[in-house]
Structure 1
Amino acid sequence: MSQLHLWVRAEQRNNETRVGLTPKGAASLLATGMKVSVEHSPTRVISDAAYADAGCQMERPHSWPDAPGDAIIFGLKELPEDGTPLRHRHIMFGHAFKGQPAGLRLLQRFKAGGGTLLDLEYLLDDEGRRVAAFGYWAGYAGAAVALKCWAAQQSGNIAGPITAYDSSTHLLSKLQADLVATGSHRPNALIIGALGRVGKGVADLCTAMGVATTRWDMAETTSGGPFPQVLAHELFFNCVLARPGTPVFVPSDAPTRPRKLSVIGDIACDPDSDFSPIKVYDRTTTWDAPALRVHAEPMLDVTAIDNLPSMLPLESSEDYAEQLLPVLAQLGTPDAAVWTRAAQTFQEHAARL
């Protein structure tokens, strides 16, 4: 049997400095006999030198298309949309299994090249839970962005660009200063999905900032709605993935209804899904423009950034990589259930093309 080869690609998306494998984790995989190649990256939060010191084979940036055919290409965010066929096995967040237009194009590329998408979102244990997730840090950072949006509103403005932080301590210090500068009260917030990783991250950030929270999960939303409580809070956080049967939490006419709600933090961030529970916006927001104003008076802003953990790239990378490492170590096990299920999920969706 040939040596298993994991190829860690350099991310090509703006404001994406995270990585799913640390040098310590790479050394652990190398010790099992796996070959680990890592592309040079000037933006990755962990230095190239640290990977080289761990024993990884360093490669040219973005050279993964020329990697040996049996290499498994590992990245986090999306590939450039250049339409080229994909012949390798890829581990990544593909966002391709819910009918998204870009996802369908990605599946077509895999079909054309004969490759396989092993989607990180669909690496599940025997009970259907994700084996690794950035969710906590998405919630934590997403709550911070929503509070920045609220703080800007207090002076009649809209939130300006956001940036990455060296640590969560640094983020909290800067955010506290923004809130104090408003001279206003602290808002209250409703969190739906509060028992999950994302919801816990939102709740922890809100607690640190003195924001009172109402925390809902499945028990509070089984009625299917409507949910007037959403409009009665100043902030609303959606931490529930869009899927068939997900209730609508914010209907399309919410902006014109009587409400206290002024900022929606859609952490799940799937606006182009038919099942999105937030019906007042149709596109993600960005680091340069984190808030989308959907109503002017009274103000209602939506923030929905799809790579929030990159605001805290080192902490989120180290946490995620530690969760994922035991599963990466199973890549060479032919009957490893996590990888078998992921491959089957891809095959089922590709077969529908």
Structure 2
Amino acid sequence: MSPNPTTQKEHIWLRDEDRGTERRTALTPKNAKVLIDAGFSVTVEKSNKRVFEDSAYEAVGCALAESRSWVDAPEQTVILGLKELAETPTELRHRMIHFAHIYKDQTGWQKEMARFVNGGGMLYDIEFLTNEQGRRVAAFGYWAGWMGAALGAHRLLERRAGRDEITKGVSPFESQQVIIDKLKALAAEKEGALPTAIVIGAKGRSGTGATECLEAIGMQVTKWDIEETRLLDRQALLAHDLMVNCVLMFGPGLLLANKSHLAAQGSQMKVISDVSCDPFSDFNPLPIYSEPTSWTEPVIEVCQNGSGDAVEVTSIDNLPSLLPMQAAEEFSDQFIKPLLAFPNGVAWKNAEAKFTTIREKAGL
């Protein structure tokens, strides 16, 4: 199928990510070709970190541009990315598609909204692209949950084996199987029953990924969702060795644990993987750390449990980038259908409405 010049649509500009550890992309070369065949024009910024080579995009008909040249792109261009922007330019004049992390009262949300309003731009936050049923049209949730559980299990199992590897930093893995083999080997280093784990938000995308990861290495997993957290049995929660939190909070109402709870008699919790990773929000159900952990410092100690063992947290906010190829391919395959409907599809109208609501909330 070749492009039809009489049906030329929007110009999509895939930017190079500002974050140095972000190797994922919202648009794979395969799906860039789908856009081009449908009448879109696609420009891709060169990147030395994106998991797909620049040449792969060029081969399917994309124009290549220098990194961060989107700043000077024509005003009608649609700028597509994944993670939040650098602090410059201070005014944003384009329509932009990415995860901004500013709609839940996160630190600095008003300042970020002002960049769009003052520049005359528009934010289509991917987290709030929803269909007629209010469900997100594309998400990295499964891979975030899977990878978050893997890191939490890695830390717990290496502590059990008397090792200390993951605290020195993490980098992208070749495949799921490589990770599973590594975790199984760690588990086999010490005889006896494996530690216990609990997944909060087990019925969602992230929770499903987390559960499947832990069960793949033979861990016993307790699965909690809305029913179990409505009347929280915190003693039962903290009787586990590992907690993977996959609950995304949009308002107050859930406190899983604070430092006092973790330190109380009977608490056996040793490692918490906070996949939802929202420490800057007033609605954070785990107010035990102040900022996300990182690839260079993936684990931090926050307190000691009721038995005097360290309670550690891992809370990396771009977990799927540790499996960038698989995560990007699945996300892009979900995202291409709504992207083909830009800007008139239901998801885009819902995102516009959300932007307007937050702008009014900010008094802008």
Q: TM-score range by the shorter chain?
A: over 0.9
Match runs of 1:44-83 below 5 Å: 44-82=50-88
The equivalences for 1:83-98 within 5 A come to 84-98=90-104
How far the C-alpha of 1:177 sits from its partner, in A, is 2.6
Mapped to 2, the partners of 1:74 and 1:9 lie a distance apart of 6
Q: Give the equivalent residue in structure 2 for 1:290.
A: 298
Residue 313 of structure 1: aligned partner: 324
The match for 2:260 is 253
Deviation string, structure 1 residues 35-60 (Cα, Å, up to 9, x no partner): 11100111110111110001001111
CA contact (8 A) 2:20 2:49 kept: no
RMSD: 1.7
The structural deviation recorded for 1:203 is 0.5
Report if aligned partners of 2:8, 2:40 keep a CA contact under 8 Å in 1. no
Given that residues 252 and 283 in structure 2 are in contact (C-alpha distance below 8 angstroms), is that contact kept between their aligned partners in structure 1? yes
Q: Which residue of 2 aligns with 1:8?
A: 14
Q: In structure 1, what residue type is equivalent to 2:88?
A: D
3-state SS of paired residue (2:357):
helix
**Deviation, structure 1 residue 226:** 4.8
Which residue of 2 is the match for residue 218 of structure 1? 226
The question of whether the paired residues in 2 share the 8 Å contact of 1:90 and 1:117 is answered with yes
Q: 2:44 aligns with which of 38, 44, 48?
A: 38
Q: Secondary structure at the match of 2:301?
A: strand
In structure 2, the partner of 1:238 is 245
Residue 4 of structure 2: aligned partner: none
Q: Distance in 1 between matches of 2:257 and 2:361?
A: 32
Q: CA deviation at 1:352?
A: 2.3
Distance 1:76 1:180 in 2: 38
**What one-letter code is carried by the residue in structure 2 that aligns with 1:302?**
V
Q: Secondary structure at the match of 1:277?
A: coil
- Matched with 1:348 is 357
The superposition leaves residues 191-226 of structure 1 with CA deviations (integer Å, 9 ceiling, x where unpaired) of: 111000000000010011111001011111222x35
Of 228, 245, 248, the residue aligned with 2:235 is 228
Instruction: List aligned pairs for 1:188-199, cutoff 5 A.
Output: 188-199=196-207
Q: 1:25 matched to which residue of 2?
A: 31
1:216-242 C-alpha deviation (Å, 9 max, x unpaired): 11111222x352211111111111012
- The equivalent of 1:150 in structure 2 is 156
8 Å contact from structure 1 (residues 77, 92) kept in 2: yes
Deviations 1:274-329 (A, max 9, x none): 11111222221111111110124321001111000001000000000000000000
User: Where does residue 324 of structure 1 map in the other structure?
Assistant: 335
CA displacement, residues 58-77 of structure 1 (integer Å, 9 cap, x when unaligned): 11111110111001100001
**Equivalent residue for 2:271?**
263
Cross-structure match for 1:304: 315
**2: CA distance between counterparts of 1:245 and 1:165?**
36
Q: Secondary structure at the match of 1:90?
A: strand
Once the two structures are aligned, what percentage of the paired residues are identical? 37
Which 5+ residue runs of structure 1 have no aligned equivalent?
none
Q: Distance in 1 between matches of 2:152 and 2:253?
A: 23
**What SS does the corresponding residue of 2:43 show, helix, strand or coil?**
strand
Residue 259 of structure 2 aligns to a residue in which SS? coil
Aligned residues: 350
The 8 Å contact of residues 226 and 248 in structure 1, kept in 2 or not, is answered as no
Give the letter for the 2:240 counterpart. H
Which range moves more in the overlay, 185-194 or 312-321?
A: 185-194
Moved more, 9-18 or 157-166: 157-166
Say which SS state the counterpart of residue 203 (structure 2) adopts. coil
Question: TM-score normalized by structure 1?
Answer: 0.95
Separation in structure 2 between the aligned mates of residue 246 and residue 6 of structure 1, nearest angstrom = 39
Change (3 A) 1:328 1:110: same
